[in-house]
Chains A and B, each alone.
Chain A
Amino acid sequence: MTIKLYIPQDTTALSLDADRIAQRFEEQIQQRVSDRMTLPGDADIEVVRNGSRGMFWLEPLVEIDTPQGRVGYGCVTLDDVDTLLEEGILAGEYGHRLCVGLVEELDYFKRQQRLIFARAGLDDPLSLTAYRRQAGFDGLAAALAQTPQQLVDAVKASGLRGRGGAAFPTGIKWQTVLDAESTVQPAQKYIVCNADEGDSGTFADRLVMEADPYMLIEGMIIAGLAVGANQGYIYLRQEYPEAYRILSEAINRAQGEGILGDNILGSGRAFHLQLRLGAGAYICGEETSLLESLEGKRALVRAKPPLPAIVGLFGQPTVVNNVLTLATIPYIFAHGAQAYADYGMGRSRGSLPFQLAGNIKRGGVVELAFGASLDELLFDFGGGSASGLTLRTVQVGGPLGAYMPRQQWSTVLDYEAFAEVGAVLGHGGIVAFDETVDMAQQARFAMEFCVVESCGKCTPCRIGSTRGVEVIDKITVGNNPEYNWQLLDDLCDTLEAASLCAMGGMTPNPVRSAMQYYPADFTRSATTAVEDEQHA
């Protein structure tokens, strides 16, 4: 009998020393085997480097097989390895102070609706055997039996909307590409996966690529079958070296086993996939800029129309979808479009993996059907601030999303409900701040970020952001504050109305929300401002 000991290999676990912990376990287990010490029965121990389950606050989370299920030990450090072994981790004994009990019985885990992340953390992400055992390629097998129009119709019926942030209906985008004519001979269309997950507070794409890479590959192949594209690209940000390592190897293995290539699973259909690295430009998360970058150019945003669906990569019809969007596709075909659409509310169907980040006690990926509230996420799942101080604001939807004050935390997690209060749900990233935050500085940072990351093509974004930093500085030092406050508001109008893309168009979101809900921060020190709010 083999007992498996799981130690994750995702970026977060590795950032907290998981490699050295795994090495230490292996050495110590070897030692114990040769000393014939406390191994349960005559079991062999196998150390498996799994993906993370996304409960990042517990990383490195070491798990061990027991007859009852997998028992976890959270926040393990190198110094804990010896005591874990002494106190019977291999026998599945519960005694150790780091023991969190049965991992899948943890409230944080059990209360989620894991459709996309069902497999994350279960096994070695690169093992094709493990992937197949967990319903991997079921969706692809079903898709191979359908016509392109049937595939597109199923995606429409699922209600899936683009998970990158814009929430455009995926089925409609696919239909456009399916109907578009390629202008070259032989005809060429492309599937491009936007894996340039640059928003602070988001890591769900990364977790897909590091914990379940074949799911993304499977989704891309199905997309190719649906629109008639035989070439795909994953555009991955270079800030994700582990995702690069895992995805590269996954693509190699998928090619080796005939999943990618000229004869997908023996069907006679072709799909080729290349992994490309970005080079540290946030703007490449914008789809037209990403396409320019893939073509080997300066990543200047293109004016739309034409849509990339019609004139995309190298001028040909192209599906550009986010990692999570493509990763949802296998579920839709394995379980049926209706099964997916049964989750969610209103026009937001299915689930969204929310990401709890920043100053939060229990940060990680929380996949839920649309319809829960921010409050539930922040407190029931997140457990409040990590610092123990009062939470003061949350920024939802990345650096271009609004800061939301406490009175908005009852907002329902749904694209339309967020739009109604002037916020954006975006990619589902939630960054929490405690009461020490200075909102004038956060507004300034939003403008500063736009200065650094603007592609420079349109004037409002390029120059407006620089002026924005200057005007905020004037306000905070008390230089003609009423006049400059008005000027900042006007500047936000210009950015919003006249920018070419969301970079300039949405930078006012964090700035204006800070102005609206935390005006006192702009005119005095943060501490005094908080006191004022409490006295109000």
Chain B
Amino acid sequence: MDVSMQRNKTIIASDSVAQSQQKTIASIVERYAHQAGALLPILHQIQAVYSYIPKQAVPIIAAGLRQTNAEIHGVISFYHFFRDSPSGRYVLQVCRAEACQAQGGRDLEAHIKTVLAIDYQQNTPDKQFTLEPVYCLGNCACGPSIRVDNKIIGRVDAARFDALVTQLTSQVAEVS
């Protein structure tokens, strides 16, 4: 197979991915559009499916809600929670707020950045982790706290964090 054929194949493949994505997004918009103030529920649903809000979602949502692309983009960019690029396999949020600081949160934060060798809003090169700051997980009597996807973990220290990373990455190895 020559190079140009390979390239064609890739383009066709990504076209059909884009089409199926478009379909999914359109059906999400349709499902919520009748609700008053539907935009946040729509964005949550899209991010739940794709781990981020794909660029092509903007015009689809805008059309469905009879708003402009700029309005939709404005909302996506306002909220810390919505991402415009895919997350890693695990989204790891580290609490930066005062109650966790009082329990060694600042040291833990530094440790986590060193271990993963990334800063906030970045993915590890192997795409396993996305690191994000969070301001309070409501677990303030048992801090420092972190969140891995929908699981909150309390009383985290460097050793406990390292063990968690080992556990999560070995799970990945088993799956793949």
Q: Which residues of A contact B (CB under 8 A)?
A: 11-12, 14-16, 56-57, 59, 197-203, 206, 238-242, 274, 276-282, 293-299, 314, 355-360, 363-364, 386, 395, 399, 429, 431-434, 437, 442, 445, 449, 452-453
Contacts and interface: CB of A to CB of B under 8 A. Distances in A.
A431 B152 contact: no
Nearest to B35: A274
Contacts of A453: 135
Contacts of A56: 141-142
Interface stretch (B18-26, B36-44, B110-118, B166-174): B36-44
Contacts of B79: 278-281, 299
B142 A449 contact: no
A14 B142 CA distance: 11
A284 B130 CA distance: 24
Given A294-B37, A299-B78, 9 more contacts: A15-B151, A15-B152, A197-B136, A197-B138, A240-B138, A296-B39, A298-B78, A357-B102, A431-B140
B4 interface: no
A445 B96 CA distance: 10
A197 B97 CA distance: 13
A358 B103 contact: yes
B150 interface: yes
A445 B101 contact: yes
Contact of B98 (A200, A274, A364): A200
A201 B142 contact: no
Contacts of A296: 37-40, 65, 75
Closest 5 CB pairs of A and B: A363-B141, A296-B39, A200-B97, A358-B102, A15-B154
B142 A298 contact: no
B119 to A, nearest CB: 15
B151 A14 contact: yes
Contacts of B152: 11, 14-15, 241-242
A444 to B, nearest CB: 12
Given A279-B82, A356-B141, A200 B103 contact: no
Nearest to B77: A298
Interface of B: 35-41, 43-44, 65, 71, 74-75, 78-82, 97-103, 134-143, 145, 147, 150-155
A110 to B, nearest CB: 19
Contacts of A199: 136
Nearest to A210: B138
Contacts of B141: 12, 56-57, 203, 355-357, 360, 363-364
Contact of B103 (A14, A293, A359): A359
25 contacts: A12-B139, A12-B142, A15-B154, A59-B142, A198-B136, A200-B136, A200-B140, A202-B136, A202-B140, A206-B138, A239-B138, A276-B37, A278-B79, A279-B79, A279-B80, A280-B134, A281-B80, A296-B37, A296-B40, A299-B78, A357-B99, A399-B98, A399-B135, A431-B102, A445-B101
A386 B102 CA distance: 10
Given A203-B139, A239-B136, A356-B141, A16 B98 contact: no
B21 to A, nearest CB: 21
B50 to A, nearest CB: 15
A198 B97 CA distance: 10
Contacts of A364: 141
Given A281-B79, A297-B75, A239 B137 contact: yes
Nearest to B146: A15
B135 A15 contact: no
Most chain B CB within a 10 A radius of its CB, from A276, A282, A395, A431: A431
A277 B101 CA distance: 26
A453 B151 CA distance: 24
Nearest to B152: A15
A16 B143 CA distance: 11
A200 B135 contact: yes
B140 A15 contact: no
B83 to A, nearest CB: 11
A432 B43 CA distance: 37
Contacts of A363: 140-142
Nearest to B155: A16
Given A298-B75, A358-B143, A202 B39 contact: no
A297 B40 CA distance: 8
Given A240-B138, A358-B103, A364-B141, A431 B81 contact: no
Contact of B142 (A16, A197, A432): A16
A503 to B, nearest CB: 13
Contact of A277 (B40, B103, B134): B40
B142 A279 contact: no
B140 A429 contact: yes
Select the residue from B35, B37, B39, B101 with max chain A CB neighbours within 10 A. B37
Contacts of A241: 150-152
A486 B80 CA distance: 34
A94 to B, nearest CB: 26
Nearest to A238: B81
Contacts of B140: 200-203, 355, 357-358, 363, 429, 431
Nearest to B106: A441
A202 B138 CA distance: 6
A328 to B, nearest CB: 20
A69 B39 CA distance: 50
A433 B135 contact: no
Contacts of A282: 135
A280 B140 CA distance: 17
B102 A434 contact: yes
A203 B81 CA distance: 20
Contacts of A278: 40, 79, 81
Contacts of A434: 102
A434 B100 CA distance: 13
A169 to B, nearest CB: 27
Contacts of B142: 12, 15-16, 56-57, 59, 363
Given A202-B138, A299-B78, A399-B97, A277 B102 contact: no
A286 to B, nearest CB: 14
A12 B140 CA distance: 9
Contacts of B135: 198, 200, 282, 399, 449, 452-453
